[in-house]
Structures are given as structure tokens and as C-alpha cells.
Amino acid sequence: MASNYEHNENTGIQRRLTKQRKIILEELSNLTSHPTADELYQIVRQRMPNISLGTVYRNLDFLAEQGQIARIEYSGSQMRFDAFLDPHQHVRCVKCGAVGDVFNGVKLPKVANMDVPGFTVTGARVEYDGICEQCASQNKQN
Amino acid sequence: MASNYEHNENTGIQRRLTKQRKIILEELSNLTSHPTADELYQIVRQRMPNISLGTVYRNLDFLAEQGQIARIEYSGSQMRFDAFLDPHQHVRCVKCGAVGDVFNGVKLPKVANMDVPGFTVTGARVEYDGICEQCASQNKQN
DNA sequence: AACTTATTAGTAATAATTATCTGTGTTAAC
DNA sequence: GTTAACACAGATAATTATTACTAATAAGTT
């Protein structure tokens, strides 16, 4: 039953499992919608009305740092978060920004030895663009 | 001397090739650095001190809309612009955000017929992460 | 229970971008 | 050539997403 938060070996800083952190992780885990910080804030608020948006941001940062959740930094848009960690890729609706999972995506080859003048390439990812069902049906949604 | 305006067939709106627009496109074309709007603003200012940042943004938007330049909307970072239109991909330095060109990148297969529940996939792109030479040598630059 | 200090709520600050507004220069119509 | 229409400029204000600051609180240890 040991806590995950007892000690960070690197920094020596003791991390605490606060109610807020617990609820944020719980609620994110219940979602498949890849919410933004603010969207998750609205949800968490229902269980904990006084929580602040800053706390949500801070904990999402922390959890991403710990590798417990993943940041989805999709091109030119707001940051989104995902508690599902199995390797997969993402599509984004170019109309509304909704993000979906792609499990049968393109497999990228090893990229570490690529010859790119001026850069040492360390990684790569594929981003898909698309239209979500909702936007496809309602042909003029934002 | 041809008239200095363009007629947009789609909108019927008459567009003007202003000094500002001309210089913005010229200076961007001279750069291989994929500048941000503000970086380009600083450069254009040397030729036209009274130009405003808003004008740079407005014209970059316009030029991108017309397909004369490309927007580089790299994950979770500031927008950058590129006047070089031949198909290529980009690396971004994870330390300083600098963007470089990748010409020998992964070729993505056609993606339009992918089966992704809830989405119609229309396109895809590869984003590379890396470290630029400068950051690699000075091991503690931002 | 007392103590230490990481974390919180609340708020202010920052950064990037977009919108507004008024004046000006070009263009098209007379 | 005048004039009316209007795209665009510069200046500035507003917005949006995110981060920083601070005093009070509470998690985890002793």
C-alpha cells in the first residue's frame, strides 16, 4: 500500500497526494475526451467547488512530469491531457479541436540516426487532421 | 508596370499589395530561420520603423491564407512561418524552440481512408523533436 | 499532537494573438 | 479630375491560455 508520492529520488522533495491531485487524476482517467485544463477544471469543480484552475494546471504538469498522464501538445492549439498511456496517436478535428485516439496509425521508423544538418533528432510523432462526427453532421459548427 | 492589386476570384474582394505586405514577404523569403511573427517584425522594422506588429500578424495570416507562405504550428509553441513551399518537414529544438528543415523525412502513406471511429481523417504530418547545434554545445541555454 | 513544508485558493502577471477604431491611400465610378 | 467606396495601416485595447506570487492550509512525519 505504499504511496507513489513518498519521495522523489532525484530532488529529495517529498510529494503529497492531496485530495485535489487524487480527484484530478481520477476524473481525467474517467474521460476519453482528452480534455483541456479548463474542461477538466469544470468537471473537477463539480466534486470540489473551491478548487482553482491554477491547481488543475499545476497538478496536470506534475502528473505529466511523473509520467502518470500524457500531455497532448497538438499543433497550434491548446494543451490537452490523456490518462491513457498505451502507445497510440491522435487525430484532431480541424473545426472544433476535439481530439480522438488513433490505434492503427502509421508506425514510424527509428529516427535517432537521421541526418538533419544542424540538429540531433531525438524523436518524432504523427499528427492526424480530420473532421469529427459532430462537425461533419452539423455542417457549420465552430 | 502592372497594377499593384490582386483580385481574389473566390471572394471577389480586391486585395492590395501594400508596401508592408511586400516587405514582409520579401524579408520572410530571405530567411531560412522560420521566424515567429515577432521575430519577423523586428527584422521588417529595420526597413520600415513605423510598421506595427498587428500588421505583421495580419499580413502573415493573409499570405498563409493565399498559400504564398506556410504556417508552422508546432506543438505547444509559438506559431512560425516559412516562405519555402516545397514539401518538407520540420524539426524543433526542444530546448530553444528553433525550427529546422527536414528534407529526407519519413514519407507518410495516404491516410484518407484510415478507419478511425468518430473521425474522418483528412491529413497527417510528422513532427520531429531534437536538439539544435547551439543548444547542444552550450549545455544550459534556454 | 506538534512540526515541517508542499500544496492550496485566490489573484495578479505574462505572453501570444486577435479585435477595434480611426485615418489614409488606392481604386472604381462619375 | 473629383468623389465615393473601401482595404489596409498604425495604435491600442481586449482576449485567451498559462504561469507566477503569496498567505493560509493541510499532508505526512516524528
More confident residue, A9 or A75: A75
The fold of A86-137 is Dna Ligase; domain 1 (3.30.1490)
Answer whether residue B1 shows pLDDT above 80. no
User: Which residues from B are below 8 Å from A108, CB to CB?
Assistant: 106, 126
Report CA(A1)–C1'(C4) in Å, whole number: 24
Confidence of residue B6 (pLDDT cuts 50, 70, 90): low
- Cβ contact A119–B75 (<8 Å): no
At A47-74, the pLDDT tens digits run 999 999 999 999 999 999 999 999 998 7
Residue A102: what pLDDT? 96
Contact A74, A127 (CB under 8 A): yes
CA distances B26 to B3, B34, B118, B124, Å, are 19, 14, 43, 29
Residue B133: what pLDDT? 94
Answer whether residue A21 shows pLDDT above 60. yes
Residue A10: what pLDDT? 61
Residue A2: what pLDDT? 45
- C-alpha A123/C-alpha A110 separation (Å) is 8
Phi-psi region of A125 (alpha: psi -120 to 50; beta: other; left: phi over 0): beta
Shortest-distance nucleotide from A79 CA to C1': D17
Residue A81: what pLDDT? 96
Q: Cβ-count burial of B23 within 10 angstroms (0-12 exposed, 13-18 middle, 19+ buried)?
A: middle
Long-range contacts formed by B24-27: CB under 8 A, 24+ apart: B24/B56, B24/B59, B24/B60, B24/B63, B25/B59, B25/B63, B25/B68, B25/B69, B25/B83
Closest by CA to B80, choosing from B50, B36, B29, is B36
What is the bridge-based pairing of β-strands A70-72 and A80-82? antiparallel
Location of each CATH 1.10.10.10 domain in chain A: 1-84
Residue A142: what pLDDT? 37
Counted across chains A and B, CB pairs separated by less than 8 A come out at: 125
What is the bridge-based pairing of β-strands A119-132 and A89-93? parallel
Answer whether CATH 1.10.10.10 is correct for domain A1-84.
Answer: yes
At A87-117, the pLDDT tens digits run 999 999 988 889 999 999 999 999 988 999 9
- Cβ contact B121–A132 (<8 Å): no
Answer whether residue A141 shows pLDDT above 60. no
Answer whether CATH 1.10.10.10 is correct for domain B5-72.
Answer: yes
Answer whether residue B112 shows pLDDT above 90. no
Closest by CA to A59, choosing from A47, A50, A69, is A69
Closest by CA to B101, choosing from B78, B132, B63, B60, is B132
Q: What is the DSSP string of A26-52?
A: HHHHT--S--BHHHHHHHHHHH-TT--
Q: Which of A93, A111, A119 sits opposite B119 (nearest CB)?
A: A93
Average pLDDT over residues A72-93: 90
Residue B12: what pLDDT? 63
Residues around strand D, C-beta < 7 Å: A 3, 5-6, 14, 16-19, 36-38, 53-54, 57, 61, 78-79; B 13-16, 18, 20-21, 48, 50-55, 58-59, 62
Location of each CATH 3.30.1490 domain in chain A: 86-137
- C-alpha A93/C-alpha A96 separation (Å) is 6
Distance from CA of A142 to the nearest CA of B (A): 16
- C-alpha B20/C-alpha A76 separation (Å) is 25
Residue A13: what pLDDT? 81
Q: Which nucleotides of D are covered by protein (CB under 7 A)?
A: 7-13, 17-21, 26-29
Q: Which of B101, B120, B133 sits opposite A130 (nearest CB)?
A: B120
Residue A43: what pLDDT? 98
Location of each CATH 1.10.10.10 domain in chain B: 5-72
Residue with cell 471577389: B12
Substitution target from A74, A104, A116 for chain B, most B beta carbons within 10 A: A116
Residue A138: what pLDDT? 79
At B36-94, the pLDDT tens digits run 999 999 999 999 999 999 999 999 999 999 999 999 987 678 999 999 999 999 999 98
Burial A76-96 (b: 16+ CB within 10 A, else e): bbebbbbbeeeeebbbbbebe
Distance from CA of B24 to the nearest CA of A (A): 22
